[in-house]
Amino acid sequence: MLIQDQIKAKLKDKNAVLVAHYYVSGELQILAEETNGLVSDSLEMARFGQNCDADTIIVAGVKFMGETAKILSPEKTVLILDQKATCSLDDGCLIKDFTKFCDEHPDRKVVVYANTSAQVKARADWVVTSGSALKVVKHLHENGEKILWAPDKNLGNYVQNRIGANMLLWQGACIVHERFRAEALSSLKIKHPKAAVLVHPESPQAVVNLADVVGSTTALVNAVKNRNEQTFIVATDNGIFHKMHKVAPNKKFIEAPTMKEGSDCEYCAHCEWMAMNTLENCLDVLKTGKNEIIIDSIISKKARQSIQKLLDFTA
Ligand code: 13P
Ligand code: SF4
């Protein structure tokens, strides 16, 4: 039997659902869609997991996405495909250091990006995603709040510039988006003058400044679908091209240039942790029940309040 068919049978057996991020392999994305699961950005992955009636949620993505699913659905079993699939933003914001940072600035509302641990979320007043950060910060700014923002300095900078809010930024970064190069992107734009440039806001400011569209992964996919241009230069993880080709099969996509530390790879924006998600480990977790997400109940309850606030605010 094909591995895809074995996974489909196990999903059915266990009343499980596969929820995948756009950055995982095309094979996993196809499987999620064929089995009535979901492929989306981190905000919609969280919402879907909470609203579905499966007993088990299989998260094809990274650890924080599995934790968010578990926090929102404590009664469901949540499994991730590889326990080592983390995120540089999550790894770079340890709860001990983050608590100290918050304690030093008690006058600020604590807003954290979803790409963080359950403990960090539990310390936050609000959790946001790239698809909701502008809206939440605008709301807080209009209510006269000063903000402590963590962990992504690039997304924080982008939001601060757009909204004009008073924001103190933790200095974390996504190692994938951080590598996009503005100068090389400018040269590429000259070669493709009719192309629209799509940029995820985890990218450096100089890259964001060259964009026609800045937004979450879903916003970038929608731009491809809805805009008139036939060619798109895309500055985000190249896993997203699977969905972009699907929604606009006749359009042309070009990867924005990167420079990976210690390598000469010029077009290689792919998250090493997202790449750990495979069909083989999907079948394995379904068979064994391994990689279950377990979260302390007090942490989970506190984190749920700040995530739920976001889901209600963006409903
Ligand atoms: P999105 O919420 O836009 O999907 O971003 C998640 C992420 O990890 C991007 O690197
Ligand atoms: Fe984290 Fe960047 Fe990978 Fe997204 S692409 S999961 S932000 S390291």
Cβ 88 under 6 angstroms from ligand 2: yes
- CA dihedral sign, ordered 308, 112, 115, 210: positive
- Residue pLDDT, tens place only, 221-261: 999 999 999 999 999 999 999 999 999 999 999 999 998 66
Same fold, 3-85+274-295 and 177-255: yes
pLDDT > 90: percent of the chain: 94
Domain ranges of the chain: 3-85+274-295, 89-174, 177-255
- Token reading at 98: 């983050």
Residue 69 makes CB contacts below 8 A (sequence gap 6+) with 19, 45, 46, 49, 50, 57, 59, 76, 78, 293
pTM exceeding 0.85: yes
The reported pLDDT for the residue numbered 261 is 63
Report residue 41: phi and psi, to 5°: -85, 180
Q: Does 237 sit in the ligand 2 pocket, CB within 6 Å?
A: yes
Nearest CA to ligand 1 atom 2: 42
Does domain 177-255 fall under CATH 3.40.50.10800? My reply is: yes
Q: How far is CA 269 from the centre of its chain?
A: 14
DSSP state of 275: G
CATH of span 89-174: 3.40.50.10800
Helix (H, G, I), strand (E, B) or coil at 52: coil
Give the distance (Å) from ligand 2 centre to CA of residue 235.
13
What spacing in Å lies between the alpha carbon of 2 and ligand 1's midpoint? 31
pLDDT tens-digit map of 118-163: 999 999 999 999 999 999 999 999 999 999 999 999 999 999 999 9
**CATH superfamily assigned to domain 3-85+274-295:** NadA-like (3.40.50.10800)
How sure is the predictor about 43, in pLDDT bands with cuts at 50, 70 and 90? confident
19 and 36 Cβ atoms separated by less than 8 Å:
no
CB of 87 closer than 6 angstroms to any ligand 2 atom: yes
